[in-house]
């Protein structure tokens, strides 16, 4: 994203009822089931959802007490929680097939610790983290507000609030903001598409959603009425997996930074924390957020890279985007490595990732969420490195 001049930037979000998010939720529910039974279980679960059909596939290593029947039941309960009981996709009668099998021994030997060898990365790859001062959560503003609009609709729907009566689980949003010299100053357009019951008129849906959109954006940021697009196709009754096939890991930009920062390419949901696609991406966000929270930068991008079976990251890269506070980026890279063990085991232990905390991450983004100390969720959003970073750079 540019630092100078005037430009528009857009991000989208999707609700927990979007087909791909239904798949993500089920995959993370499977992961949580294994981690609840064994904190060191290995899981790589992919889910496909379509008209009244759910298919789980992938590799696991965990206790026999986690059965296929149990996982099928948990998948059904996840769909129930999302709110699907429709003719084309219902928690009650969707057919569920579980095709999970044992993890490859070739992969396992690279990851497992043995003798003097520490636990290795579960795959090669590059991971990115990002933080900026645009919002209180240190997330990019277009994605922040796109998520916020859908979360508020979902909360009202789940509470049976009459203000959103007739709206169903599947929904998408898109927010375009105007930037001047790197700062967001207002919205130029907003798009919200939401599934609804048969017979609802376009005007009714717009009447329900306009106050939610207005109250979600900062004062004075609303675009003109002509640039607010509510269900622009005109009708959205057939939705969810009945309307479109869903797969785990197809919303990685929604899951991260809305396109405002690079993405390494790996998806998160359904993967246990030995998979650095997930755990190292969480570590990247954690470090980038702490850098910005410590006042060392207004924007920070951080990259890690790994080789399968190798413990130490191959590289640590920090970009401070113009570096207005004149921080030595090379020194910062070294300091971050000193403050956090970036081996897979170190990341897992530092962020307490070997716990059943993942189903809640599957919708509305893995980043920018409030850490919950009691539940142990979103530990990568803590800013507990700030004092050490300030001390290291005399801030």
- Residue 117 inside a domain? The answer is no
What band does 4 get if pLDDT is binned at 50, 70 and 90? confident
What band does 115 get if pLDDT is binned at 50, 70 and 90? low
Domain range for 183: 6-14+141-238
Q: The CATH number of the domain where 348 resides is what?
A: 3.30.300.10
Total-model pTM: 0.95
Indicate whether 117 pLDDT > 90. Answer: no
Biggest distance spanned by C-alpha atoms of the chain: 67
Indicate whether 104 pLDDT > 80. Answer: no
Mention every residue, 6+ apart, whose C-beta is less than 8 A from residue 20: 14, 246, 247, 248, 249, 250, 251
Indicate whether 39 pLDDT > 90. Answer: yes
In this structure, the answer to whether residues 278 and 344 fall within a common structural domain is: yes
Residue 317 phi/psi, 5° resolution? -130, 135
Mean of pLDDT values over 20-49: 98
pLDDT for 331 equals 97
- Residue 79 inside a domain? The answer is no
- Residue 204 inside a domain? The answer is yes
Binding residues: 18, 20, 46, 59, 103, 170-172, 235-236, 244, 250-251, 267, 271, 275
Q: Which residues are registered as beta bridge partners of 57? A: 46, 99
pLDDT for 87 equals 95
In this structure, the answer to whether residues 277 and 387 fall within a common structural domain is: yes
- Residue 159 inside a domain? The answer is yes
| Digit-coded pLDDT (tens) for 280-337 | 999 999 999 999 999 999 999 999 999 998 999 999 999 999 999 999 999 999 999 9
In this structure, the answer to whether residues 317 and 234 fall within a common structural domain is: no
Pick from 55-64, 67-76, 89-98, 106-115: least confident = 106-115
Indicate whether 109 pLDDT > 70. Answer: no
- Residue 152 inside a domain? The answer is yes
- Residue 307 inside a domain? The answer is yes
- Residue 279 inside a domain? The answer is yes
Of 212, 238, 264, the residue that ends a domain is 238
Produce one character per residue of 336-369: b if its CB has 16 or more CB atoms within 10 Å, e if not: beebbbbbbbbbbebbebbbbbbbbbbbbbbbbb
pLDDT for 173 equals 98
pLDDT for 120 equals 85
Site of tokens 């992969």 = 107
In this structure, the answer to whether residues 171 and 129 fall within a common structural domain is: no
Binding residues for Mg(2+): 20
Binding residues for ATP: 18, 170-172, 235-236, 244, 250-251, 267, 271
Binding residues for L-methionine: 59, 103, 244, 275
Mention every residue, 6+ apart, whose C-beta is less than 8 A from residue 211: 163
- Residue 88 inside a domain? The answer is no
**Number of domains, the chain:** 2
In this structure, the answer to whether residues 299 and 209 fall within a common structural domain is: no
Indicate whether 108 pLDDT > 70. Answer: no
Binding residues for K(+): 46
In this structure, the answer to whether residues 287 and 199 fall within a common structural domain is: no
Closest CA to 195 of 235, 145, 242, 254: 235
């Amino acid at each position: 994203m540019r630092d100078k001049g005037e430009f528009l930037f857009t991000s989208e979000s999707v609700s927990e009822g979007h087909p791909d998010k239904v798949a993500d939720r089920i995959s993370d529910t499977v992961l949580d089931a294994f981690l609840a039974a064994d904190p060191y279980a290995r899981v790589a679960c992919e889910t496909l959802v379509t008209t009244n059909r759910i298919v789980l596939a992938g590799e696991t290593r965990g206790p026999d007490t986690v059965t296929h029947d149990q996982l099928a039941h948990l998948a059904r309960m996840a769909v129930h929680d999302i709110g699907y009981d429709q003719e084309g996709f219902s928690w009650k009668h969707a057919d569920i097939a579980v095709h999970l099998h044992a993890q490859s021994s070739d992969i396992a030997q690279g990851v497992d610790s043995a003798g003097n060898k520490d636990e290795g990365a579960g795959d090669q790859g590059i991971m990115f983290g990002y933080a900026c001062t645009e919002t209180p959560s240190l997330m990019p503003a277009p994605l922040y507000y796109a998520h916020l609009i859908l979360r508020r609709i979902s909360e009202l729907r789940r509470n049976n609030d009459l203000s959103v009566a007739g709206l169903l689980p599947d929904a998408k949003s898109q927010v375009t903001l105007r930037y001047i010299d790197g700062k967001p100053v207002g919205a130029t357009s907003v798009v919200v598409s939401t599934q609804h019951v048969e017979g609802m008129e376009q005007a009714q849906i717009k009447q329900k959603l306009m106050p939610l959109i207005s109250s979600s954006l900062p004062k004075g940021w609303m675009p003109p009425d002509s640039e607010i697009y509510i269900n622009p196709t005109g009708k959205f009754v057939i939705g969810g997996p009945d309307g479109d096939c869903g797969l785990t890991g197809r919303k990685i930009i929604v899951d991260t930074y809305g396109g405002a920062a690079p993405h390494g390419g790996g998806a998160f949901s359904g993967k246990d924390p030995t998979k650095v696609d997930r755990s190292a991406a969480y570590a990247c966000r954690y470090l980038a957020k702490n850098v910005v929270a410590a006042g060392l930068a207004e924007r920070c991008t951080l990259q890690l890279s790994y080789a399968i079976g190798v413990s130490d990251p191959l590289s640590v890269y920090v970009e401070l985007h113009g570096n207005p506070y004149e921080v030595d980026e090379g020194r910062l890279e070294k300091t971050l490595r000193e403050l956090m063990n970036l081996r897979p085991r170190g990341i897992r232990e530092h962020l307490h990732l070997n716990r059943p905390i993942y189903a809640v991450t599957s919708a509305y983004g893995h980043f920018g969420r409030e850490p919950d100390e009691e539940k142990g969720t979103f530990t990568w959003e803590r800013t507990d490195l700030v004092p050490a970073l300030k001390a290291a750079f005399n801030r």
